């Protein structure tokens, strides 16, 4: 690996390169949020949405998307180990199973378990932006967008480029990432490859992660476009305490493949996207790493899906529509051989009520072979009080079906429950957005009333965990955020970006006598996030991130991370990162102690 680093660095220094343009010149307010049907600019959305653009992806002190999401207001990241080799993502106090992950609008839900939601087969260097929708997403994305949805977006370029990034750091950590674009006539294509590994920061916490991602697209004519994608990720890691503290020698190996093909037909007043995709996931889990005969689980899941989404415009506004069908099956030595079919129909309408008011309302109807038909209505009302100020309110019903692990798992510390009913919640929010000349601010209140919450419980520590349906749980909270960005002016010292947010979440879950809960009473309670990106001259940037996290019934903790970039958008750049500079002792998931202060550094080549 060291020889590869030296070769690439020497190559970058001796060849003649063309400087890369900054990828952040597009105004955030003009970005179209990708929701498959009705697509609305970021500034006109009547929802609480956070947009992570290329500049934030490149300057945040993080080696993975999981770590980057930990700086998003209202998002709770529970990492098991460094760089998010296995991580759960919750939104607005929701559990990891209540968040829907998507890649270019493709659902990454695994029927086996929600713990696989972050097995995203895309190197970070190839991600263009990330859209985080907070609140009910079932009407927009379908089942399992219960507390929110995260859509990872890649893009095809019609220009040739090669980006290479290598790094090394504490815990024997090292990695290398390649991303390239090689258009051929009307056909655009991207290829990205990454490799990351570490010896681990504690006993049995080593990991190795490989990703490969290919995407291609061609404009057949002015109205028709074809786009295909194939991706693969291989994650193997020591899982010390990941799922139970009783077995420190746990080990897991996961391979995920994703393939899709889509066609877009785009006319002046009509848009239609049809898509087919396939997702394969293989999971081998051992309680004792070197003794598979002691206890071993092997799960293989397959997901086949077809979708059609579109919209058309008339004199009364924009109508969005969609239809989908999805087949999920699982072969497992523990869960048995399982399968289910899901289908859905979407319909929504957006109309303008005068010059300043707009209404978007619709319904998603879902059929599940195990639970029958369910319907999820929702609506958002927006009022453009001025050019800078937008006030909005929304209501929606959200829905999550149990995973096969929830239903059928059998193990020494966890047992499934095949009598579980799907979770369902009613959601309400009201908020306001203000934006002017690089400044953005938002204040929102939300309420989520849950029926039949699925929660893992046990009467005592000697009894295995088992999921149950709680009758009623309420989550409500407030999010306040402020954001500032200015274009570089070449000053000797300049604040390029500043952000601050505060989230408060209250969970009205009454602890039942003699029952211990696993997730609900550890939900996010108080969250403070701050950051400042400072430019020193034309080429040097320093990004400092601060976090204060308090979860229910857990001790709060404070973290400080920092990244330094030299010549980030130039031909050859260098960076250094530090995590947990305060050397805080803290736990994010289960009883796994996270590492203290740790460092890494590397280089970037931008060839165009």
pLDDT in tens, 540-557: 999 999 999 999 888 999
Q: Which CB contacts under 8 angstroms, 24+ apart, belong to 179-184?
A: 179/123, 179/125, 179/126, 181/156, 181/157, 183/157, 183/158, 183/159
Tokens standing for residue 495: 């604040």
pLDDT at 5 over 50: no
pTM of the model: 0.92
Tokens standing for residue 194: 């990454």
Q: Percent helix, strand, coil in the chain (nearest 5)?
A: 10, 55, 35
Tokens standing for residue 512: 């039942």
Q: What is the mean pLDDT of residues 345-356?
A: 95
Q: List the one residue out of 455, 497, 485 whose CA is nearest residue 472.
A: 455
Which of the listed CATH numbers 1.20.1600.10, 3.90.1150.110, 1.10.274.10, 2.40.170.20 matches domain 2-186+316-607?
Answer: 2.40.170.20
Share of the chain above pLDDT 90, in %: 74
Q: What is the mean pLDDT of residues 457-486?
A: 90
Cβ atoms of 239 and 250 within 8 Å: the answer is: yes
pLDDT in tens, 153-189: 999 999 999 999 999 999 999 999 999 999 999 999 9
pLDDT at 15 over 60: no
Question: pLDDT-based confidence at 95, cuts 50/70/90?
Answer: confident
Q: What is the mean pLDDT of residues 8-36?
A: 51
Are β-strands 148-153 and 99-103 bridged in parallel, bridged antiparallel, or unpaired?
parallel
Tokens standing for residue 442: 């938002």
Three-class SS of 334-380: CCCCEEEEEEEEEEEEEEEECCCEEEEEEEEEEEECCCEEEEEEEEE
Cβ atoms of 93 and 507 within 8 Å: the answer is: yes
Q: What is the pLDDT of residue 372?
A: 93
Q: What is the pLDDT of residue 510?
A: 67
Q: How far is CA 3 from CA 7, 163, 210, in A?
A: 6, 18, 19
Question: pLDDT-based confidence at 244, cuts 50/70/90?
Answer: confident
Q: What is the pLDDT of residue 511?
A: 63
Question: pLDDT-based confidence at 37, cuts 50/70/90?
Answer: confident
pLDDT in tens, 566-578: 999 999 999 999 9
Domain boundaries, the chain: 2-186+316-607
Q: What is the pLDDT of residue 516?
A: 80
pLDDT at 201 over 90: yes
Q: What is the pLDDT of residue 490?
A: 67
pLDDT in tens, 318-330: 999 999 999 999 9
């Amino acid at each position: 690996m060291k020889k590869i680093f030296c070769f690439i660095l020497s190559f970058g220094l001796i060849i003649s390169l063309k400087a890369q343009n900054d990828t952040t010149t597009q105004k955030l307010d003009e970005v179209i949020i990708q929701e498959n049907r009705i697509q609305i600019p970021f500034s006109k959305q009547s929802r609480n949405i956070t947009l992570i653009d290329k500049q934030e992806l490149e300057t945040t002190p993080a080696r993975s998307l999981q770590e980057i999401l930990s700086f998003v207001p209202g998002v709770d990241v529970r990492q098991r180990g460094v760089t998010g080799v296995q991580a759960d993502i919750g939104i607005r106090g929701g559990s990891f199973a209540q968040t829907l992950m998507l890649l270019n609008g493709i659902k990454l839900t695994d029927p086996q378990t929600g713990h696989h939601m972050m097995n995203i087969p895309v190197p970070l260097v190839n991600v263009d932006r990330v859209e985080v929708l907070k609140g009910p997403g079932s009407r927009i994305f379908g089942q399992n967008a219960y507390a929110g949805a995260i859509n990872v977006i890649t893009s095809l370029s019609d220009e040739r480029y090669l980006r290479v990034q290598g790094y090394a750091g504490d815990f024997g950590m090292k990695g290398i990432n390649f991303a390239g674009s090689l258009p051929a006539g009307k056909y655009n294509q991207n290829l990205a490859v990454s490799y990351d590994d570490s010896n681990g920061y504690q006993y049995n916490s080593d990991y190795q992660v490989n990703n490969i991602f290919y995407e291609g697209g061609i404009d057949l004519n002015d109205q028709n476009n074809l786009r295909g994608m194939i991706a693969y990720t291989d994650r193997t890691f020591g899982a010390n305490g990941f799922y139970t503290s009783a077995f420190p020698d746990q080990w897991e190996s996961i391979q995920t493949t994703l393939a899709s093909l889509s066609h877009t037909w785009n006319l002046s007043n009509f848009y239609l996207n049809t898509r087919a995709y396939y997702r394969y996931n293989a999971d081998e889990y051992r309680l004792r790493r070197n003794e598979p005969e002691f206890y071993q689980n092997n799960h293989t899941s397959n997901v086949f899906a077809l979708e059609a989404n579109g919209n058309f415009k008339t004199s009364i506004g924009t109508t969005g529509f969609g239809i989908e069908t999805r087949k999920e099956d699982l072969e497992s030595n523990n869960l048995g051989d399982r399968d289910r079919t899901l289908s859905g129909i979407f319909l929504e309408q957006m109309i303008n009520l005068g010059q300043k008011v707009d209404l978007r309302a619709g319904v998603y109807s879902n059929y599940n072979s195990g639970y029958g038909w369910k319907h999820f209505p929702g609506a958002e009302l927006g009022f453009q009080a001025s050019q800078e100020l937008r006030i909005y309110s929304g209501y929606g019903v959200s829905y999550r079906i149990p995973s096969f692990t929830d239903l059928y798992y059998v193990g020494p510390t966890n047992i499934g429950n095949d009598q579980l009913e799907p979770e369902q919640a009613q959601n309400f929010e009201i908020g306001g957005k203000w934006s002017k000349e690089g400044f953005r601010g938002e204040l929102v209140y939300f309420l989520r009333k849950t029926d039949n919450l699925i929660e893992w419980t046990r009467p005592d520590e000697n009894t295995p965990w088992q999921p149950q349906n709680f009758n009623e749980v309420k989550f409500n909270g407030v999010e306040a955020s402020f954001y500032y960005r200015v274009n570089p002016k070449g000053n000797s010292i300049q604040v390029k970006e500043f952000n601050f947010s505060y989230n408060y979440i209250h969970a009205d879950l009454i602890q039942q006598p003699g029952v211990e809960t696993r997730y609900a009473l550890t939900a996010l309670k108080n969250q403070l996030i701050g950051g400042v990106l400072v430019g020193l001259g034309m080429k040097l940037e320093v990004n400092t991130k601060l976090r204060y996290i308090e979860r229910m019934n857990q001790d709060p903790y404070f973290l400080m991370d920092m990244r330094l970039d030299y010549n980030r958008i130039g031909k050859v750049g260098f960076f250094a990162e530090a995590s947990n500079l305060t050397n805080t002792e803290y736990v994010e998931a289960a009883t796994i102690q996270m590492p203290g202060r740790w460092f890494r550094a590397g280089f970037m080549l931008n060839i165009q």
